[in-house]
Structure 1
Amino acid sequence: MREYNRYKGLKQLSVSLLVVILLLLLAVPARAAERGADTAPSGTPLSSLAAVVDTYVAARRQTTAAVSVAVVNNGETVFNQAYGFADIEHETAADTGTVFEWGSCSKLLVWTSVMQLVEQGKLDLHQDIREYLPKGFFQKLKYDQPITLLNLMHHNAGWQERATDLFYFAEEDVPELGEALALFEPRQVYEPGNVVAYSNYGAALAAYLVELQSGQPFYTYVKEHIFDVLGMEHTSIHPAQRDNEAVYAARNKIQGYTTKLKLIKKNRGFIGIYPAGSATGTAGDAAKFLAALMPAAGTTSPLFRSDTVLKEMLSPSLNYEGTDIPRIAHGFFEVNHTVPALEHGGNTLGFSSKFTIDPASGFGMVVMTNQYNEWEYCAGLTDRVFGTYKPQASGMDLPDSVQVEGEYQSARRVIHGFTKLLGYLSTMKIVSVNRNIIDYNDTPYKQIEPYVYVPVRQSGFAYFVRDAQGAVVKVSNPYFDSFPLTGLAAQRTGISLIAVGLGALLIMLAMISGFVRWIITRFRRAAKPSSGFNKYYLWMNIAGLAFIVNTIILGYRTLNYTTYSAIRIHLIGNIAYVVLTAGYIMLLMMKLRSIEAGKVSKIMYILSGVSALLFSAIIIGWDLYY
């Protein structure tokens, strides 16, 4: 009987242990079970990964400058290879020692640094950041609500975009981070927490908080607490790579190109708010960073004292409005491949990058190219390795896609200031393909829920927010919100182009008329008594031509990343034109009846006034004066 009881006890213990083991297995995140430890999320065996990448690159050889790819799995780098030419003109081949600019992927260093200080109790994600900043630091806030570090991580602190003072082309022109932030401060245009609008300023501001709380320049802090800790000897974040002279020298050996392999002559810029996009290094070093975010089982990340804060950083912190669908994880963007993943992309003057990780399985990938706005690798190759998300309709009765059709304007744009026109020239169009599929900027999206569309061939979400009547009021993707463009706002660009065209035509008519009159007078050799108003008329038309030339130069310089101080003269010129117009119109109204001139001349005087008014309306309407 004693033996039986012992056997019975062992049996119960075995059953209990089995139950515990099963519970532990069930506790492992579901996405980690979707792939084996020796495969990529797409199902590609790691042993075949080199062949897959080699084949992918070979098929695009004619449109590739250089691309560097590194893959990590379970805390180790399992693939690291570079392809193509770092410098096509000099036939300098890229290798694993070639450095590339991270662009906005640099922000991951900011968020990691912030979370390190959170772990140390020096920063609080929920504290108003004004408590950490010098008094009077902000000059352009519109709302009194607190701005927290979470707002900075979620890009919803409310700032508009800036199109000037981001890049400098001389190292000596780059100010210190605090001064750069003061120069670059954009207007706050949205209430904090309400609108996601990707913000370089917000990320750089978070880095400045790290600088203030640590007592070190941000680039020094990152070098000591991230690069040196991880052995990232071939990476820099100083705006001119002065924290690593080897990286500075290596950066001089690589050029930047367009997607059509055209050399971008000015492809080395110095970023004033540098923490937002100034990291430069090898893909192998970047892989070490990703591996540290996903330490191997049974180990702890060398970047944190424990796994608690690291797990918090990589967990969802913002969902799509009114849903439980993750959108942002403390600055990392939530996306969908074969598995849910976190990503960040980056672009600079001549480089593109994409970092993607699946923390649950410990798999990550770095893609870096020396081509501006490149997607064949940053998006396409990432999809190939991580797998393409295949949406499944929920089976519910879905509304017709025509309800979301229309033109949308990104919240990430300039709303006040002379560059706000750019936001109207880059709107997003959504066209209904069939009942449950839309074409969203040349990408097919499939509807899976009444408010949610997912790309058919890529990661991400398009989530539509509707009002009580069912009208779309906002569409959201991981990086920013967009709003419907309707009514006169939708026609604003077209109306402006018509106004500019009409004004230019009237000036041309005036100039041609004046020239013909001069020819006739010269051939007759008898000068016709001219109206004393002619000189005002002539100068007003010359000023109109000057306005057109001035605006073209202003646009060209702005698109070439100039500083605001360098283009202020153009804005002052536009103010002078408006004042001149006001004077001309007043003079015309006072003297038109008394002017000794024919009907045709008086009509031309009036038309020149109309032209000046049209141009002045353009200046005022598009804020071309500040």
Structure 2
Amino acid sequence: MPPSPRWLTILYRFARAVEIGPVFCDMNVSPRWLLALTTSFAGPAERKLVAQPSLLPQLPPHTVLHSFRHPLRGPNSRPQHRDGSMGLSTAAIPLRRLLLTCTTAALVSPCAALAQESSLETAAQADLWEATALNAWLEGFMASHLKELPSAGASVAIVKDGEVLVARGFGLANVEADRAVDAGTLFRIGSVSKLFTWTAVMQLVEQGRLDLDTDINEYMTDVELPATYDEPVTLSHLLTHTPGFEDHIIGLFGTDEESLRPYAQILQEELPLRVRPPGEVASYSNHGTGMAAYIVEEITGMSFEAYIQANILDPLGMTETTIAQPVPDELADQLSLGYSRAANDEFEEEDFEYVPLAAVGAVSSSATDMATLMMAYLQNGQFGDASILSEETAIQMRQPLFRHAQAMNPALHGFMDMSQDGQWIIGHGGDTFWFHTLFAMLPEHDVGVFLSYNTDTGGAGRGRFIDTFLERFFPVADPETLEPDVDAVERLEKYAGTYRGNRFVHSDFTKVGAALGPLTVSITEEGALTTSATGSTEFVESSEGTFRASDDHDVIAFRENADGEVAWMFMGSFQITAFERLRGFQHPTVQAVLVGLSLVIFALAVIFWPVTAVVRWRYSATPAAEVRLPRFARITAWIAAAGFLLFVVGFASMSSDFNEIAFGHLESAKRVLALGSVAAGLGAVTVALAVWCWIKGFGSTSTRVVYSVVASACLIAIWHMAFWNLLGFQL
């Protein structure tokens, strides 16, 4: 093999000098600038060699080419032509062929050798996990990442093969005091706390004290679910978020210790309605998890906090983790503050968030302790000499327990299946208002990642981080491109329509949140589906009722009801929610038209009637009594119209501060709902007066018609308010 050209040697040394870490030797991830240089010398025959590396002479196995990468994009720098075609002739200039052969061999020969060895990790991959390279990449990524969000600080832990590779902080835990985040800084991990609940449940199942398929009413003394459906709710349903409960928002958080009450009391006061048969579809339920925690207390005779401490935290030596609220004095100085992003891009310090149902989201923990927990899960419940689960139970927790459709990520025994891009990932996400957390494990690679932000902007950061992490450490080839079928357009019409996420409140005024953000499914001219939630991504039918993104791994699926109508849509990586098809009066367009029309009528009545009265008074053009409606009828209708308009304005203002509702601060809500109830009452009187005027023949036909139009608007508004629980004080 002739020596590499000098220009290639220079490029190689330059890349080595500026690299952040090595990259896989694969044509799909080779740097574009080097491919461009290579193929600029190539004719058809040479490009054929690029497409078929087996035709090239083999270099020694240690020949590895490195490259620099942008920290936000990771190592996966794909070539312009994904199909690898570069178009090519048999004629070639010898020098050009030599340059191409040398360069391409340096790029692909090691990969061919390693592929023959069927190894999952190359020497380059091993370098990626080396502590210096890993921390260098992480520092580069997080420095730009925190500025981009922005977030005051973040906590990160990465484990692999039973060892902690990274446990550290980035940014600030206290902006005013300039206190940095470190490995021991406590972050609020939100719903990742649920993993402690499910671990406790599975411990008791392992001991034979709980059964996953028994009616949970048999385990609860002071709380009882009504027999709304024939099928009972079981622990299996709670584990998979399929008990069929409505959601509950009011008072989910608290501002002080007075909001903390016993689990039984909270569940009695906030018992969720059963709104669908258990096991039908998933709908994420905090109160379902709260019931599981209450059952742990009932079975063990211990408080949930004491049980977790004795059976999980103490055995694992997790001394920097607590579910106490506020955190104990000995840990208070280690707790990160929570922040919101102010309008001037400054970080505004926020108060400690209390979670009354502590088991669903109150845990505070450090990167060090989260690394320990990940290793315990990855090592089948074992950590050193400690054991929190038997190997059989630990493996069972990773097994599917419910699945919306065959191609969908399943719900496991407490864990979320977060698989993406061909990688099996289990774990959980967690959110409070100010903290946003990711707890993800790749069991097949014995790898775990913990990430938490202390600012309200952090929710968007988790996806960016895990995408970049997977692209760098576990890159996979794009799936085969699916081509849509133009002939399928008519057949796909049954899937097009509007869908609504099924996680919403049914029993109080926050039900109105379900009206926001419906999801639409449309059909392209080429015979693919698109959704408003996934932008321009086109989904092509891969099997009956299942669609895969044309050039990605994302999947959506549909389910028909007993009448053969499409009733549900599911998103592949989002197994905790289903999307129900909206038809008839529930369709958002129908409701928007009716509400909008009513508001226009109210506005015209509020403006037109007084103006008309003033004009008539000014010009002494008072109409005859026989063509006028009774004064009290007109005044009643005018006040009702004005009341409905003020109610809409007040409700919009109140709803803009969702935090107040979630924290249980309902003073503004009570005032607005009182106004709405008065307007609805006067509206009902207006409807009755309209009927009375027609019966008695008051006024002219035109005045009665106008009045009836206003009365009809009142009737629509009353119906709409009743549908969304806005009448009275449904709190």
- Category of TM-score, reference length = shorter chain: 0.7 to 0.9
Segment of structure 1 superposing worse, 516-525 or 341-350: 516-525
Does residue 1:423 correspond to 2:514, yes or no? Answer: yes
1:566-616 deviations in whole A, cap 9, x for unaligned? 545654654454443333322332245757756775555334323322211
| Range with greater deviation from structure 2 (109-118 or 409-418) | 409-418
Matched with 2:614 is 519
Matched, 1:56 2:141: yes
Structure 2 match to 1:16: none
Cα drift, residue 185 of structure 1: 2.0
Q: How does 1:421-570 map to 2 (within 5 A)?
A: 421-431=512-522, 438=530, 441-442=533-534, 444=537, 449-450=542-543, 451-453=545-547, 461-465=555-559, 472-476=566-570, 477=572, 478-483=574-579, 485-489=581-585, 492-520=587-615, 523=618, 533-554=630-651, 556-557=653-654, 559-562=658-661, 563=664, 567=669, 570=672
Query: Which of 137, 140, 145 is the matching residue for 2:224?
Result: 137
Secondary structure class of the residue paired with 1:219: helix
Alignment of 1:67-78 (within 5 A): 67-78=154-165
Q: What is residue 301 of structure 2 aligned with on the other side?
A: 215
SS of 1:516 mapped into structure 2: helix
- The 3-state SS of whatever aligns with 1:107 is helix
User: 1:306 corresponds to which residue?
Assistant: 390
Distance change in 2, residues 1:136/1:112 (3 Å): closer
Alpha-carbon spacing, 1:246–1:312, altered in 2? closer, same or farther (3 Å): same
- 441-450 or 365-374: which moved more? 441-450
1:406 Cα deviation from its structure 2 partner = 4.1
1:582 aligns with 2:684: yes
Instruction: Give me the whole-angstrom Cα distance separating, in 1, the residues matched to 2:551 and 2:136.
Output: 22
Question: In the alignment, which residue of structure 1 is the partner of 2:357?
Answer: 273
Query: 1:52: how far off?
Result: 2.0
Name whichever of 605-614 and 66-75 sits farther off: 605-614
> In the TM superposition, what are the counterparts of 1:93-172 in structure 2 within 5 Å?
93-134=180-221, 137-139=224-226, 141-172=227-258
| Alpha-carbon shift at residue 194 of structure 1 (Å) | 1.2
Are 2:636 and 2:685, in contact at CA under 8 Å, matched by a contact in 1? Answer: no
One-letter amino acid of the structure 2 residue matched with residue 197 of structure 1:
S
Q: Is the 8 A contact 2:252 2:355 kept in 1?
A: yes
Contact 1:113 1:222 in 2 (8 A): yes
Deviates more, 1:375-384 or 1:354-363: 375-384
Where does the alignment leave 5 or more consecutive residues of structure 1 unmatched? Answer: 1-31
Deviates more, 1:513-522 or 1:62-71: 513-522
**Cα 1:463–1:532, aligned 2, differ >3 Å: closer, same or farther?**
closer
| CA offsets 1:174-193 (integer angstroms, 9 cap, x no match) | 32222112222221111111
> Quick check: 1:75–1:296 contact (8 Å CA) kept in 2?
no
The match for 1:180 is: 266
Partner of 1:282 in structure 2? 366
Q: Aligned partners of 2:390 and 2:695: how far apart in 1?
A: 86
Q: Which amino acid in 1 is paired with 2:713?
A: S
Q: Whose radius of gyration is greater, 1 or 2?
A: 2
Specify the code of the residue in structure 1 equivalent to 2:448: G
Amino acid at match of 1:370: N
Distance 1:439 1:504, change over 3 A: closer
- Partner secondary structure for residue 197 of structure 1: coil
- 1:103-145, CA deviations, whole angstroms, 9 ceiling, x for partnerless residues? 1111111111111222222222222111100165225x52131
After superposition, give the CA deviation of every residue in 1:359-393 in whole Å (9 maximum; x if it has no partner): 23321000111233635531221222233565534
Q: Give the unaligned 5+ runs of structure 2.
A: 1-117
Cα separation, 1, equivalents of 2:268 and 2:646: 31
Is 2:443 the counterpart of 1:348? no
* Map of 2:411 onto structure 1: 328
Gap change, CA 1:228 and 1:587, over 3 Å in 2: same
Partner residue in 2 for 1:408: 499
Inter-partner Cα distance in structure 2 for 1:174 and 1:485: 38
State the partner residue of 2:16.
none
Q: Number of residues paired by the alignment?
A: 589
Q: Quote the residue 2:13 is aligned against.
A: none
Per-residue displacement from partner, 1:517-554 (whole Å, max 9, x unpaired)? 45346656999898783234223322332333334444
SS at the partner of 1:360?
helix
Where does residue 52 of structure 2 map in the other structure? none
Q: Distance in 2 between matches of 1:92 and 1:540?
A: 61
Counterpart in 2 of 1:23? none
Instruction: Return the letter of the residue paired with 1:560.
Output: N
Distance 1:117 1:307 in 2: 15
Q: Distance in 1 between matches of 2:364 and 2:293?
A: 17
464-473 or 400-409, which moves further after superposition? 464-473
Give 2:602's aligned amino acid. Answer: I
- Aligned residue for 2:499, secondary structure, equals strand
Aligned letter for 1:245? D
Q: Which amino acid aligns with 2:511?
A: K
Deviations 1:427-477 (A, max 9, x none): 223455665675562364665841545568987653433579996443333
**Amino acid aligned to 1:608:** V
- Alignment match of 1:81 (pick from 149, 168, 179): 168
> One-letter code of the match for 1:465?
R
Q: Does 1:229 align with 2:347?
A: no
**Percent of paired sites with the same residue:** 22
**Counterparts in 2 of 1:474 and 1:571: CA distance versus 1, 3 Å:** same
For 2:458 and 2:551, how far apart are their aligned partners in 1?
A: 17
Bigger relative contact order, structure 1 or 2 (CA pairs below 8 A, ≥6 apart): 1
**d(CA) in 1 for partners of 2:267, 2:553:** 33
The residue identity in structure 2 corresponding to 1:331 is G
**Matching residue of 2:29:** none
- State the shift of 1:36 in Å: 7.3
Is 2:202 aligned against 1:202?
no
* Contact kept in structure 2, 1:341 and 1:358, CA below 8 Å: yes
Q: CA deviation at 1:206?
A: 0.8
| Aligned match of 1:28 | none
Aligned amino acid, residue 357 of structure 2: I
Q: Contact 2:313 / 2:321 at 8 angstroms: preserved in 1?
A: yes
Q: Quote the RMSD (CA, aligned, Å).
A: 3.9
> Which deviates the most, 126-135 or 452-461?
452-461
Q: What per-residue deviation string (whole Å, max 9, x for no partner) do you get for residues 281-316 of structure 1?
A: 222222221111123999667242632222222233
More divergent stretch after superposition (375-384 vs 567-576): 567-576
- CA distance in structure 1 between the aligned counterparts of 2:697 and 2:541, rounded to whole angstroms: 71
Tell me if the contact between 1:74 and 1:296 (Cα under 8 Å) persists in the aligned partners.
Answer: no
Inter-CA distance 583–446: structure 2 relative to 1 (3 Å threshold): closer
Partner secondary structure for residue 56 of structure 1 = helix
CA offset digits 1:33-54 (Å, max 9, x no partner): 73479958x9755552212222
Provide the C-alpha distance between the structure 1 equivalents of 2:553 and 2:483, rounded to a whole number of angstroms.
23
Aligned counterparts of 1:277 and 1:461: Cα–Cα separation in 2: 29
Report the secondary structure of 1:204's partner residue.
Answer: helix
Give secondary structure in 2 for the equivalent of 1:542. Answer: helix
